[in-house]
Amino acid sequence: MSDAKADILGRIRASLADHPQAPTPTREYRTESTKSSEAIRDMLKDRLLDYKANVYEETSSSIAGRIQELLGKSSMYVIPNGLNLAWIPEDSAARRHIVDSGFAPRAGSLTHRELDAVNAVVTSSTVSCSETGTIFLNGTSEEGRRAITLVPDHHICVVPSDSIVELIPEALRRINPERPITMISGPSATSDIELQRVEGVHGPRTLDVIILDA
């Protein structure tokens, strides 16, 4: 370390020594829910609908049919490489899926231009917070990288029922902070300009949420 740098750091330490330590913050907010799982689930549905998302409740036997209905008869859509293939409908002449392998330059990683050409994306999710109506994606193999959920105009997001919690602290405990985190609260929208709501500015204009029972 140079003499000048050591001198500067020494002066900073000396000046800070005269200041009292910052008090430990008091955290009196709730960190554990006391609501029933049914009440938490209903709260999430209410928040998502208020945010103009579409919400469906399915089982493992009905989810593929629901996704087929949401995709329509003619659709090219992308899925992450770890998505449960039992969830998606069989490909047809007019409807087919493309698998994104993950982060570039890995083989099979779609470019932004290729993602812009698809109609939709289907992913799972890590955890959902009912208090704020927020779905968390954490870059797992079932969710893929951020780009595949931000470029296509239609996002079909599967929310396993056992991944729904009430509070943000509960949600954050299920998140890996070392991985990319995407938080979704309804379709992409902004009211920055003259307080006029505009959808699709920062991501998909259509968000379909499927709550999947185990």
pLDDT single digits (tens) 70-80: 999 888 999 99
Is 21 part of any domain? no
Domain span including residue 62: 37-212
The predicted structure's pLDDT at residue 27: 85
User: Of 127, 142, 125, which Cα lies nearest the Cα of 86?
Assistant: 142
Q: pTM for the full model?
A: 0.84
Quick one: pLDDT band at residue 53, thresholds 50, 70, 90?
very high
Whether 166 is covered by a domain: the verdict is yes
Q: Given pLDDT bands bounded at 50, 70 and 90, which one contains residue 32? A: very high
pLDDT for the residue 38: 97
Please count the structural domains in the chain.
Answer: 1
CATH for 116: 3.40.50.10420
The dihedral sign for the CA sequence 73, 111, 82, 48: negative
Query: Is residue 201 assigned to a domain?
Result: yes
Where residue 67 falls among pLDDT bands split at 50, 70, 90? Answer: very high
The mean pLDDT of 125-146, rounded to a whole number, is 97
User: What angle (nearest 5°) sits at the alpha carbon of residue 180, between those of residues 177 and 186?
Assistant: 105
Is 173 contained in some domain?
A: yes
For residue 71, being part of any structural domain is answered with: yes
Say if 31 falls within a structural domain. Answer: no
Q: What percent of the chain has pLDDT over 90?
A: 69
* Coil, strand or helix at 96: strand
Q: Are 180 and 140 in contact (CB under 8 A)?
A: no
194: which residues sit within 8 A by CB, 6+ positions away? none
Tell me how far apart the alpha carbons of residues 27 and 49 are, in angstroms, rounded to a whole number.
31
* Pairwise CA distance, residues 209 & 59, whole Å: 13
Average pLDDT, the chain: 91
- For residue 1, the model assigns a pLDDT of 57
Closest CA to 9 of 96, 1, 31: 1
Please report whether residue 2 resides in a domain: no
Taking only the tens place, the pLDDT of each residue in 75-110 is 899 999 999 999 999 999 899 999 998 876 667 789
Summarize pLDDT for 147-195 with one digit per residue, the tens. 999 999 999 999 999 999 999 999 999 999 999 999 999 887 777 777 7
Q: Judge whether residue 141 has pLDDT over 80.
A: yes
Q: What is the pLDDT of residue 104?
A: 63
Residue 35 CB contacts under 8 Å (≥ 6 apart), including other chains = 43, 166
